[in-house]
Amino acid sequence: MPDPSDPTAGPAGPARPAQAGGCAPHAPALPTAELHLHIEGTLEPELAFALARRNGVALPYASEDELRAAYSFTDLQSFLNLYYALMDVLRTEEDFAELAHAYLARARAQGVRHAEIFFDPQAHVARGVPIGTVIDGLARALDQAPEAYGITTRLIMCFLRDESAESALATFEAARPWLGRITAVGLDSAEVGNPPSKFREVFERARAAGLKCVAHAGEEGPPGYVWEALDILGVDRIDHGVRCLEDEALVARLVADQVPLTVCPLSNVRLRVYEDLADHPLPAMLAAGLRVCVNSDDPAYFGGYVGDNYTAVRDALGLDPTALRTLARNSFLAAFLDEETRAGYLAEVDAHAF
């Protein structure tokens, strides 16, 4: 485990370069909050094979390299097919705790100081894994995160939008005993054809229970889905939201209300929302005054953790230190934090030397 008092300490286990916008080879990473991260999307091939062996699950790939070679996606659905298939190796509380520990160690090496973590209970319950196994396993790791990794965390329970509204409601009721452990609800999976309005009732119920609300919208779906997430679901943040740029009035609304957009640049390229990172509209979004931040989405599948995303946009889009600092500040401004903790993290960002 890293020494949490050392801001440059690496984790135990495999680390990627911790160069979130840094220049010198060993410069400390830019402190960030990661707000768009599917914990099931952090399942690296090595852990997938280890869990498969432990749980007696047969994977349709001969090796880790063969599995990695399958990470060539044409759109969101082609990714989701593999994402749901591979999570079959996650069976026990210990599996979920190990998955979260592996993410936290990698995130710490890349400057993450606060992580708000999505999970997909329906994808596990459908395979016979009780919801309590999922939440207790994740919570066991997250409870250790401040001391072990110097990372504060929140859990966000997502509903699968390609399942029914009734299934989302049943999932919410099944999770009631654990709501004290959950900060927000979210909406993910196949977007097109599954508008936010389908989930009005479960979001009303979540808000009545004191939870925050977020939703994926405007990744592959049209700007109208972002309007629905705002006006029908009453979300506090939009996940992705890049297609808002097609609607001037929507941009004006998002800017006026400073609605955070959790943008995921490497994800957008891997899922062919943009053909090349150089085409990504992040600079235009910043210039428009949108409260955007940078996140990794499903880092095991999309080629990088959050620091890798910062480095990639810096290099491909020519973002200067001022822009990188704004992105990091936005991540903490958008986080579900108490004001004192937020101020501490913002001070860390302001003190960062590029």
Binding-site residues from annotation for substrate = 298
Catalytic residue among 98, 219, 220, 228: 219
* Least distance CB 161 / ligand HPA (angstroms): 8
What distance in Å separates the CA atoms of residue 40 and residue 100, rounded to the nearest whole number?
9
* Least distance CB 37 / Zn ion (angstroms): 8
**Choice between 19 and 42, CB closer to Zn ion:** 42
Chain residues binding ligand HPA by CB under 6 A are 38, 41, 76, 83, 188-189, 216, 219, 267, 297-298
- Residue list, annotated binding site for Zn(2+): 36, 38, 216, 297
What distance in Å separates the CA atoms of residue 216 and residue 186, rounded to the nearest whole number?
7
92 secondary structure, DSSP code:
S
Q: Give one DSSP letter per residue of 197-262, joined into a string.
A: GGGHHHHHHHHHTT-EEEEEESSSS-HHHHHHHHHTS--SEEEE-GGGGG-HHHHHHHHHTT-EEE
189 binds, among Zn ion, ligand HPA, none (CB under 5 to 8 A by kind): ligand HPA
- The residue among 237, 294, 236, 234 whose CA lies nearest residue 267 is 294
**Choice between 29 and 273, CB closer to ligand HPA:** 273
Residue range at the interface with Zn ion (CB under 5 A); choices 221-229, 270-278, 293-301, 306-314: 293-301
User: Is 191 near Zn ion (CB under 5 A)?
Assistant: no
What distance in Å separates the CA atoms of residue 28 and residue 42, rounded to the nearest whole number?
23
Residue 173: active-site member = no
**Choice between 216 and 352, CB closer to ligand HPA:** 216
* Least distance CB 263 / ligand HPA (angstroms): 11
**Choice between 19 and 32, CB closer to Zn ion:** 32
Beta bridge partners of 109: none
Report whether 263 contacts 285 (CB < 8 A). yes
User: Is 297 near Zn ion (CB under 5 A)?
Assistant: yes
41 binds, among ligand HPA, Zn ion, none (CB under 5 to 8 A by kind): ligand HPA
Residue 275 backbone zone (phi > 0: left; psi -120 to 50: alpha; other: beta): alpha
Beta bridge partners of 116: 154
- Residue list, annotated binding site: 36, 38, 216, 297-298
- Interface contacts to Zn ion, rule CB under 5 A: 297
By annotation, the residues acting in catalysis are 219
